[in-house]
Structure 1
Amino acid sequence: MTTARTLTVPAPAPDAATRYFGAELAFEVDPDDLVQDLDAGRVDGYVVVETRAEEAFKAARIPGAINLPYTDMTAETTQHLDRDLVYVCYCESINCNAATKGALKLAELGFKVKRLSGGISAWIAAGNPVEGARETAGIRCAC
């Protein structure tokens, strides 16, 4: 009998899977969880951060997000941020790593961070609301 390609590499033991997937959820939030929190007004404890350039933020953004391009993140530009909050970074999509770069910079500066899975493209694809001049038109990396 031939082994299924899916099982060529065996699944991890449950304790290893618990550690791995628990860590993954500690680092990321998905659009559905975020929109449910925003819709319910559960916004205490975190800030949504657009990590792309200002023109991308002006074109389309998650409602309530702040713009802090990862290229501009320094101790000086982040000194006004509350270190007790979690900063949920997002960018264009899985094809853009501005959110990862922003989350890394914020973490290096001593902030707690998460990344929004799939960026604003996944947010829009799920039918979630956006604000901005162009809203859904012309979403691009812009980092």
Structure 2
Amino acid sequence: MTDTTMTSPALRVPPAAPAEAAAFFTARLTFQADVSDVHASLESGNPGFVLVDSRAAAGWEQGRVPGAVHLPTADIPARAAGLLDPAVPVITYCWGPGCDGATRAALALARLGYRVKEMIGGIEYWIREGFPVETATGAERHVPDPLTAPIGSVTCAC
């Protein structure tokens, strides 16, 4: 077997041992959910979680995931107990991958005792995958972006 660690830029730091890799990837899935899985869960009618939009009012008004609860990160300490059942897991989202608002919201909720995950990709990837967005004028749906979702399919079936 050839030692590729010296010739492959991708392997300059070698992969973790299988047990360490399993622990790392399990942890990632423990803390995050992707938009496709959140959508499928919501569509089931019994998702098992509450979806929280942590953006400010302007973002909420621009468009939101149908069924989401609006709870801006700054309001979590004062309003979470009145809106969320501590026995029900929470999934947070914000703008997108360039924004850590969902992470800050998840941290604030975890500090209050909620079991929480964040929806990676945020509303940006929700929209890019062609899922519906609720606005004051009704539901909108955009054509899926072929760079983020398979054309003609509801899910990537990953």
TM range (shorter): 0.7 to 0.9
Structure showing greater radius of gyration is 2
State the TM-score, normalizing by the size of structure 2: 0.80
Deviation at 1:136, TM superposition (A): 7.5
The 5 Å alignment of 1:1-143 reads 3-43=7-47, 45-74=48-77, 76-80=78-82, 81-133=84-136
Q: Deviations over 1:54-89 (max 9, x none)?
A: 221121101100000001111x31222200111100
Deviation above 2 Å: which 4+ runs of structure 1? 133-137
Count of aligned pairs between the two proteins: 135
Ranked by relative contact order (alpha carbons within 8 Å, sequence separation 6 or more), the top structure is: 1
Structure 2 residue runs without a partner (length 5+): 143-158
User: What amino acid does structure 2 have at the position aligned with 1:49?
Assistant: V
SS in structure 1 opposite 2:80?
Answer: coil
Note the aligned Cα RMSD (angstroms): 1.8
